[in-house]
Amino acid sequence: MTPVRFLDRRTPPHIATLILMAGMSALAMNIFLPSLPGMAKWFDAPYALMQLSVALYLALSAVLQILIGPISDRFGRRKVLLGAMVLFLVATVGTLLATDATTFLIFRMAQAVVAAGMVLSRAVVRDMVPDAQAASMIGYVTMGMSIVPMIGPVIGGVLDEQFGWQANFALLLILGVVTLVLIWADLGETATPRKISLMDQIRTYPGLLTSRRFWGYVGCASFTSGSFFAYLGGAPYVGNVVFGLSSSEVGLLFAITAVGYAAGNFVAGRFSVRIGLNRMILGGTIVCVIGMGLLALVTLAGLHSPYVFFGFTLALGLGNGMTLPNANAGMLSIKPELAGTASGLGGAIQIGGGAALAALAGTLLTEGATEMPLILLMLGSAILALFSILAVMRRARRLGLG
């Protein structure tokens, strides 16, 4: 590995640059959520229409993640990241200048190009270091960016109250400029661009897509994060309707899961090299299954309490934090020359699968429902993640990979 020198674009990037790249993707996704009601009034549009700024963003983000990976394998990480950040800044200016909801939504969808930061932060790490060490670095990167979902809506709410919804996008513009400058100054090219056309590169997909271990890692990451997405989709209903909590109380209890996730990322960063990638994933999935299994048992036993329900999600966050960095590193290790492609495709499947589970949680929690359908959905997804990593480990033994 080439020694890293901060703000030297002839060397690989500092981990702080990778954290900021990934964090911008997360912040752009959720900082403005408290502003949605005010934005509906501002644009004189139905609230449901403004909610599309979330759904459409996620949908386009999933599509872009599939494209960004192979494009970066072809042209290099640095060029793609710089281009993506420039387009993100243009789109952000567009959201600020929009005079109607349709124009705003168009530019909001264009902001999804910032997903390049999420995809390529992982690919850059895999370019720099071997598998287990990659999982460790990805753990630290995701631990740093896990703070963003906790504080993003809080910052957005304060800015909205003090200055209006536009302040959220003004902050994104400022931070986007900072990120662009940092990428330009610090991120040296880590990939070896291959002089083949995009179509020729797409023809190399079968080598990746026919790998059982790749799909095992993708399945493990998707089902593990799926438990969390289902929780995000159903927990507001459980908190507000089942337990009668206020929105602010639900928001505070959400932090329990985020704390668990940050702790799991720390464990992954600290011990993945020593324990090994697959065994760390196995441990993380077992934590999720045990936590959700115990929650199901105590709920069936009649112990209904918001503190019990949200308290057990500490295990959900911890297991996710241990599993996801290693599962992501695993899927990137199958074909290192296609690390960008694998990162984009795997990320798109995770987002798509997670969004589907979040929607399923919403359909299960109809009027009069208890928290039990959501608990069983999270438990079922965690069990499928456990089966996925067991299949990967079995396949690795057959291939003599340990």
The residue ranges of every structural domain in the chain are 15-202, 205-398
| CB 219 within 8 Å of CB 328 | no
Superfamily of structural domain 15-202? MFS general substrate transporter like domains (1.20.1250.20)
Q: What rounded mean pLDDT belongs to the chain?
A: 83
Type of residue found at 136: S
Q: Give the chain as a 3 state SS string.
A: CCCCCCCCCCCCCCHHHHHHHHHHHHHHHHCCHHHHHHHHHHCCCCHHHHHHHHHHHHHHHHHHHHHHHHHHHHHCHHHHHHHHHHHHHHHHHHHHHCCCHHHHHHHHHHHHHHHHHHHHHHHHHHHHCCHHHHHHHHHHHHHHHCHHHHHHHHHHHHHHHHHCCHHHHHHHHHHHHHHHHHHHHHCCCCCCCCCCCHHHHHCCHHHHHCCHHHHHHHHHHHHHHHHHHHHHHHHHHHHHHHCCCCHHHHHHHHHHHHHHHHHHHHHHHHHHHHHCHHHHHHHHHHHHHHHHHHHHHHHHCCCCCHHHHHHHHHHHHHHHHHHHHHHHHHHHHCCHHHHHHHHHHHHHHHHHHHHHHHHHHHHHCCCCCCCHHHHHHHHHHHHHHHHHHHHHHHHHHHCCCC
Which tens digits make up the pLDDT trace of 105-134?
999 999 999 988 887 887 787 777 766 676
CATH number of 205-398: 1.20.1250.20
| Average of per-residue pLDDT across 334-345 | 73
CA distances from 21 to 58, 141, 261 (A): 17, 10, 19
Supply the pTM of this predicted model.
0.71
Q: Do domains 15-202 and 205-398 have the same CATH topology?
A: yes
| Residue 1 pLDDT greater than 60, yes or no | no
| Average of per-residue pLDDT across 341-366 | 75
Stronger pLDDT, 401 or 101, i.e. the higher one: 101
Which tens digits make up the pLDDT trace of 270-283?
888 888 889 999 99
CB 152: neighbour CB atoms within 10 A? 21
What's the pLDDT score for residue 97?
Answer: 95
What's the pLDDT score for residue 248?
Answer: 65
Stronger pLDDT, 93 or 202, i.e. the higher one: 93
Which tens digits make up the pLDDT trace of 292-324?
999 999 999 988 899 999 999 999 999 998 998
What's the pLDDT score for residue 394?
Answer: 92
| CB 219 within 8 Å of CB 384 | yes
What are phi and psi for residue 399, nearest 5 degrees?
Answer: -85, 0
Q: What angle do CA 344, 347, 349 make, to 5 degrees?
A: 110
pLDDT band at 9 (very low <50, low <70, confident <90, very high): confident
